[in-house]
Structure 1
Amino acid sequence: MKIVGLITEYNPFHNGHLHHIREAKRITGADAAIVIMSGDYVQRGVPAFMPKRLRTEMALKCGASAVFELPVCYATGSAEYFAMGAVSLLDSLGIVDAVCFGSECNDLDALSHVADILTREPDDYRSLLKKSLKKGASFPTARHEAMLEYTRVPAYAALLDDPNNILGIEYLKSLKRLDSRMVPFTIQREGAHYHDQALSPGHLSSASAIRSLLAYSGSSLRTDPAGGTFENTSFENILSELEDQVPSCCLELLEDFHRVQYPVYQNDLSLILKYKLLNKTPGSLVRYQDVSEELANRICAQLDNYMNYKQFAELLKTREITQTRINRALLHIMLGLKKSEVAEYMNNGFHFYARLLGYRKDSAKLISRVAKESPLPLLAKLSESGELPAIGQKMLRNDILASNLYMSVVTDKYKTAFLNEYRQGILKV
Structure 2
Amino acid sequence: MKAVGVVVEYNPFHNGHKHHLQMARTQAQADVVIAVMSGSFLQRGEPAILSRWARTEMALSSGADIVVELPYAYSVQTAERFAEGAVHILSALGCTSLNFGSEAGEITPFISLVTFMSKHKQRYNEHVQHFLKQGSSYPNASASAFALLEGSEQLLPLSKPNNILGFHYVQAIRKLHSAMKPETTLRIQSDYHETTIKKGPIASATSIRNALNNGKPIDNVVPQKTAERIDHYQDEHGLLHFWERYFPYLHYQITTRSPEEIRQFAECEEGIEYRLIETGLKASTFEEWLSLLKTKRYTRTRLQRLFVHLLTSTRKEELESIHTSSLQYIRLLGMNDQGRNYLKHYKKHLPVPLLTKHAELKRFGTAGQLDLRTAHCYWLCLPSENISKQLTAEYKQTPIYTKKHGI
Whether TM exceeds 0.5 here: the answer is: yes
- CA deviation map 1:210-235 (0-9, x unaligned): 11111222xxxxxxxxxxxxxxx6xx
Partner of 2:234: 258
Which residues of 2 match residues 47-126 of structure 1 at below 5 A? 47-93=47-93, 95-119=94-118, 121-126=120-125
**Match 1:287 to one of 238, 261, 264:** 264
Gaps of 5+ in 1: 218-232
Residues 356 and 380 in structure 1, CA contact (< 8 A), matched pair in contact too: yes
- Residue 381 of structure 2 aligns to which amino acid in structure 1? V
Aligned residues: 400
- Residue 104 of structure 1 aligns to which amino acid in structure 2? E
Residues 53 and 357 in structure 1, CA contact (< 8 A), matched pair in contact too: yes
The alpha carbon displacement at 1:160 in A equals: 1.6
**Distance in structure 1 (CA, Å) of the matches to 2:196 and 2:125:** 39
What SS does structure 1 have at the residue aligned with 2:266?
Answer: coil
Question: Is 187-196 or 414-423 further displaced after alignment?
Answer: 414-423
Partner of 1:221: none
The alpha carbon displacement at 1:281 in A equals: 2.6
**Distance in structure 2 (CA, Å) of the matches to 1:166 and 1:192:** 17
Residues 282 and 297 in structure 1, CA contact (< 8 A), matched pair in contact too: yes
The alpha carbon displacement at 1:173 in A equals: 1.4
C-alpha spacing 1:415/1:377, structure 2 compared with 1 (3 Å): closer
C-alpha spacing 1:155/1:117, structure 2 compared with 1 (3 Å): closer
Which residues of 2 match residues 143-292 of structure 1 at below 5 A? 143-156=142-155, 159-217=157-215, 238=217, 242-261=218-237, 262-292=239-269
Partner of 1:379: 355
Partner of 2:340: 364
C-alpha spacing 1:107/1:155, structure 2 compared with 1 (3 Å): farther
The alpha carbon displacement at 1:258 in A equals: 2.2
The alpha carbon displacement at 1:43 in A equals: 0.9
**Distance in structure 2 (CA, Å) of the matches to 1:216 and 1:414:** 24
C-alpha spacing 1:271/1:20, structure 2 compared with 1 (3 Å): same
**Distance in structure 2 (CA, Å) of the matches to 1:153 and 1:327:** 31
**Distance in structure 1 (CA, Å) of the matches to 2:307 and 2:395:** 26
TM-score under structure 1 normalisation?
0.88
**Distance in structure 1 (CA, Å) of the matches to 2:383 and 2:116:** 47
Gaps of 5+ in 2: 403-407
What SS does structure 1 have at the residue aligned with 2:158?
Answer: helix
Partner of 1:128: 127
**Distance in structure 2 (CA, Å) of the matches to 1:141 and 1:55:** 33
- Residue 382 of structure 1 aligns to which amino acid in structure 2? H
Residues 370 and 378 in structure 1, CA contact (< 8 A), matched pair in contact too: no
Matched, 1:426 2:399: yes
- Residue 315 of structure 1 aligns to which amino acid in structure 2? L
- Residue 153 of structure 2 aligns to which amino acid in structure 1? P
The alpha carbon displacement at 1:69 in A equals: 0.7
What SS does structure 2 have at the residue aligned with 1:49?
Answer: coil
**Distance in structure 1 (CA, Å) of the matches to 2:141 and 2:351:** 39
C-alpha spacing 1:342/1:120, structure 2 compared with 1 (3 Å): farther
Q: CA RMSD in A?
A: 2.0
- Residue 121 of structure 2 aligns to which amino acid in structure 1? P
What SS does structure 1 have at the residue aligned with 2:4?
Answer: strand
Residues 361 and 371 in structure 2, CA contact (< 8 A), matched pair in contact too: no
The alpha carbon displacement at 1:124 in A equals: 2.5
**Distance in structure 1 (CA, Å) of the matches to 2:236 and 2:116:** 47
**Match 1:410 to one of 379, 382, 400:** 382
What SS does structure 2 have at the residue aligned with 1:263?
Answer: coil
Residues 32 and 338 in structure 2, CA contact (< 8 A), matched pair in contact too: no
The alpha carbon displacement at 1:199 in A equals: 1.1
Partner of 1:319: 296
C-alpha spacing 1:342/1:66, structure 2 compared with 1 (3 Å): same
Residues 312 and 374 in structure 2, CA contact (< 8 A), matched pair in contact too: yes
Q: Percent identity?
A: 30
Question: Is 138-147 or 255-264 further displaced after alignment?
Answer: 255-264
- Residue 58 of structure 1 aligns to which amino acid in structure 2? M
- CA deviation map 1:317-364 (0-9, x unaligned): 111111110110111121122222212112111x21110111113321
Partner of 1:401: 373
Partner of 1:226: none
The alpha carbon displacement at 1:405 in A equals: 2.0
Which residues of 2 match residues 297-308 of structure 1 at below 5 A? 297-308=274-285
- Residue 328 of structure 2 aligns to which amino acid in structure 1? F
The alpha carbon displacement at 1:207 in A equals: 0.9
The alpha carbon displacement at 1:247 in A equals: 1.1
- Residue 199 of structure 1 aligns to which amino acid in structure 2? I
